[in-house]
Structure formats: C-alpha cells, structure tokens
Amino acid sequence: MTETLQALGIDRMSVLDRLQLVEAIWDTIPDSPVDLELPNWHQEELERRVIAADADPNADIAWDDIMKRLKVES
C-alpha cells in the first residue's frame, strides 16, 4: 500500500468501509467526461482495433457464446 493510504488510515478500514469509500469517490466523478483527455495511445489503439475488425468481419463472437464459454471454463 502506498504511504498515502496508510497516512489516511485507509489500509486499516474494513473491506465494507473501503467499498463504501470507493462508491463515495465514484459518485463524485461527473457523468460527462468534460475534463478527461483521451491519451494518444488510446485513440491509436481504438483505430487499430476498428481496422482489424473491418478487415475480418467474421471474427466477432456473439455475446451469448462468450458467456457460455466463461461458464464452462470457470
């Protein structure tokens, strides 16, 4: 844990208290990403994935099939 977590006593909080803290912090984040900048590498990765998806439109997997695989493998 970082020194900040220790200094604030977060490392000594119960799991439930930490989850409630995370929820409280999450609730302070605005719904619209007005102050968020998309890093260049994120945009580049999105573009790479769109190109890859367009190049092989049959490579997609149905959501139901993904869920079935997860249930079988877990």
Domain count, the chain: 1
Output the pLDDT for position 30: 78
Residue 61 lies in a domain: yes
The per-residue pLDDT for 20 is 97
54 lies in some domain: yes
Looking at residue 29, its pLDDT comes to: 84
Within a domain: residue 32? no
Given this model, what pLDDT does residue 50 score?
94
pTM greater than the 0.95 cutoff: no
Kindly give, in sequence order, each residue whose CB lies less than 8 Å from that of residue 30, ignoring residues fewer than 6 positions away: none
Tell me the per-residue pLDDT of 7-60, one tens digit each, with 9 for 90 and over: 999 999 999 999 999 999 999 887 776 777 889 999 999 999 999 999 998 888
14 within some domain: no
How many Å apart are CA 9 and CA 19, to the nearest integer?
A: 14
**Domain range for residue 47?**
40-73
